[in-house]
Amino acid sequence: MTLLKRSPGAPRAWIGNLPVTSRYTFGIAGERFFRAIKDEGKIYGSRCEACDLTYVPARQFCERCLADLEEWINVGTQGEVHTFTLLYENLDGSVREEPEIVAFVRMGDGGIVHRLGDIAIEDVAIGMVVEAVFKPKNKRKGSILDIQYFRPAKS
Ligand SMILES: [Zn+2]
């Protein structure tokens, strides 16, 4: 019996496995954004002059005025720690030996949530300037993890 052939009066439970497949796509803007990280080691935002906003990550449309955003800007590889938190557990629930620092790094009028590295927890501060550390080009796959982490900026 399949789900579609189920009798309307049958119990609403399914015993066994359901075959579920999905494919996530980045979309037009996401494709271009992640390709630039992978191929160029650059982070792009898209600009809406009418709203005076620079979206990071870059996107196709302005969420305020719905304009098609055609102006893409290299926003550099530095941002500012807007907020941060500490992770004490791994995804599987096991306890980490050292907490991981995760921050929202403000870039343009948006930003990126990512790990912080090369810094002691007690030295992390709201407002500090950090820079992206990219994987070597031949190790990049077109993902946000092509950025290994953000570290305190050297300038
Ligand atoms: Zn706009």
Domain that holds residue 50: 27-152
Cα gap 151→130, rounded to integer Å: 5
Quickly list DSSP for 64-122.
TT--B--EEEE--SEEEEEEEEEEEE-TTSPEEEEEEEEEEEEETTEEEEEEB-SS-GG
The rounded distance, in Å, linking the Cα atoms of 83 and 34 is: 24
Stretch (H or E) spanning 151: strand 147-152
How many whole angstroms from 109 Cα to the centroid of ligand 1?
12
Structure tokens given for 94: 């096991």
Is residue 52 assigned to a domain?
yes
Does 13 reside within a domain? no
When divided into structural domains, the chain yields a total of: 1
Residue 22 belongs to some domain of the structure: no
Question: Which residues lie near ion ligand 1 (Cβ < 5 Å)?
Answer: 48, 50-51, 62, 64-65, 67
Residue 7: inside a domain: no
Q: What is the per-residue pLDDT across 7-62, written as a single tens digit (0 to 9) for each?
A: 777 767 778 888 888 888 889 999 999 999 999 999 999 999 999 999 999 999 99
- pTM for this model (two decimals): 0.82
CA distance 144 to 141: 9
The pLDDT tens digits of the residues spanning 76-118 come to 999 999 999 999 999 899 999 999 999 999 999 999 999 999 9
